[in-house]
Structure 1
Amino acid sequence: MVIAIILLMGSSIIAEAYTLGSRTLMFGKVGEDVKELQIKLNQWGYSVGAPDGIYGKGTEKAIIQFQKDQGLVIDGIAGRNTINKLKAEKYIKYSVKPGDTLVKIANKFNTTVWKIKVNNNLNTDVIYVGERLNIPQSGPNTTSAYAIQSKSNYRLHITEEEMDWLTRAVYSEARGEPYKGQVAVAAVILNRVLHPRFPNTIKGVIFEPWAFTAVHDGQFWLEPKGTARQAVVDALKGWDPTGGATFYYNPAKVTSYWIYTRPVITRIGRHYFAT
């Protein structure tokens, strides 16, 4: 009897085929509309992983961040205003032309490389002439290729060149780390720029002698891939998983034992973050 009831309840959950916007969504909700919500969040760049139709902590966290960025009421609940904002962005089809890169296309359509990759299931930055891409349409861009998101809530205002340096630093220093660890490395660089003990420019911090192993051994000049750039954007928006750290190290690769004198705040992946 108990088994029959559980099966019946499970069947009723599966049978509820809501469409996104037909009800308010919050933690614990399950359904196709939740899955559509998760797809929209991924398209906007708020990664929730593979959509599973379950409104869990990851989806709630993404909604909260989306609400913060969009100036909406921050409650972690996907109500009418939040859903309408998520559904507002439209997409166009674009055929890749000779000389195109994802950065150039993002610049042209005032969007981000991250969004283009999410909307087209791209795992690399490689694109081909004639390939048809779904492009989030926000209107033409008349500024820098990296001035594609509002910088009013950035910790620092940066140039295209500085964005490239930050992305390279994150990729070369933390490409094997979890996403949170990549954001953490970007945050440390920003923390240094804002700290009186260090150079007050991104270039000065990154290229300070012996500051970063990847700069010293040349890995810094590897072509960034994956989520490095999005990690930089999240750090610029204020996410600091380190709690204000200005140093980090991997104990397996330490060359100067002085680093062990620094008070450790937290550990993320293989890196320890300290002040």
Structure 2
Amino acid sequence: MKKILLLVSLISILTLSCVVFYVDDYISYGQANIFWGSKGDEVKTVQTKLKNWGYYNGSVDGVYGYKMYQSVKKFQKKNNLKQDGIVGNATKKALGIQAKKKATSRSDEIYLLSQAITGEARGEPYIGQVSVGAVILNRIKDSRFPHSIAGVVYQPGAFTAVDDGQINMKPTQSCIKAANDAINGWDPTGGAVYYWNPATATSKWIWRLKPIYKVGKHWFAKETY
């Protein structure tokens, strides 16, 4: 009888331990991710970004529902992310949202910027690579654009390298150095927030821009005529 009671007690303790670990993991998961049924200010932030960028047409009410789920999946597909509708760290990074548990470090920002430069300008002269990095950083300070490197880089339709997947290439050493120089304040463009290659540009709108600087194959501009 004592052996039976001891066995039952052990089973109860093991079961309780499993439940505790499961609950702890679930709570941690819920704190780190946003998914269907989530509520709060962080959900509103995601809704606002998706709405501003044309992915979401629902209410900014802080409640994760069906429309938001479809919008998140559309955003994930556009940015070559896992299409699960869960706003985890990778999707937050693409949205320009700082994860709660781990703040974006300077090294993370430099790496993403160097990826963008590699995708957009790896074949350009070094000063041209710095110039592309400078444009991305200049956009952060401009009210017309998102206010983070990730937000600017992943803004829908902003960069060809994001659309065709070249953003995921391993950065070249030259582009890493260019990213560091741009972040440290070197701006050869004089404040430009646009650049384009006249030989490959397909948008008619681009020809409204007033060029102020040229290096390699790229022209740079601050504003339209």
Q: Does the alignment pair 1:208 with 2:162?
A: no
Corresponding position of 1:220: 167
**Aligned to 2:158, what secondary structure does the other structure show?**
coil
Aligned residue among 154, 161, 173 for 2:108: 161
Identity of aligned residues (%): 50
Deviation at 1:221, TM superposition (A): 0.6
Deviation at 1:253, TM superposition (A): 1.1
What pairs up with 1:1-275 in 2 under 5 angstroms?
A: 159-275=106-222
Task: State the Cα RMSD in Å.
Answer: 1.3
Deviation at 1:158, TM superposition (A): 5.2
Corresponding position of 1:55: none
AA partner of residue 201 (structure 1): S
Cα distance in 1 between the residues matched to 2:155 and 2:163: 10
**Aligned to 1:264, what secondary structure does the other structure show?**
strand
Cα distance in 2 between the residues matched to 1:210 and 1:183: 21
AA partner of residue 184 (structure 2): K
Q: Decide whether the 8 Å contact of 2:122 with 2:175 is kept in 1.
A: yes
Measured at CA, do residues 180 and 158 of structure 1 come closer, stay the same or move farther in structure 2, by a change above 3 Å?
farther
TM-score, scaled relative to structure 2: 0.51
Cα distance in 2 between the residues matched to 1:261 and 1:274: 10
Deviation at 1:226, TM superposition (A): 3.0
Cα distance in 2 between the residues matched to 1:240 and 1:252: 24
AA partner of residue 177 (structure 1): E
TM-score, scaled relative to structure 1: 0.42
Cα distance in 2 between the residues matched to 1:219 and 1:201: 20
Q: Which has the higher helix share?
A: 2
Q: Decide whether the 8 Å contact of 2:126 with 2:178 is kept in 1.
A: yes
Deviations 1:141-187 (A, max 9, x none): xxxxxxxxxxxxxxxx9533222110100111000000000000000
AA partner of residue 233 (structure 1): N
* More RCO (CA 8 Å, sep 6+): 2
> Rg larger in 1 or in 2?
2
Q: Decide whether the 8 Å contact of 2:135 with 2:191 is kept in 1.
A: yes
**Aligned to 2:119, what secondary structure does the other structure show?**
helix
Q: Structure 1 unaligned segments of length 5 or more: list them.
A: 1-156
AA partner of residue 161 (structure 2): A
AA partner of residue 263 (structure 1): K
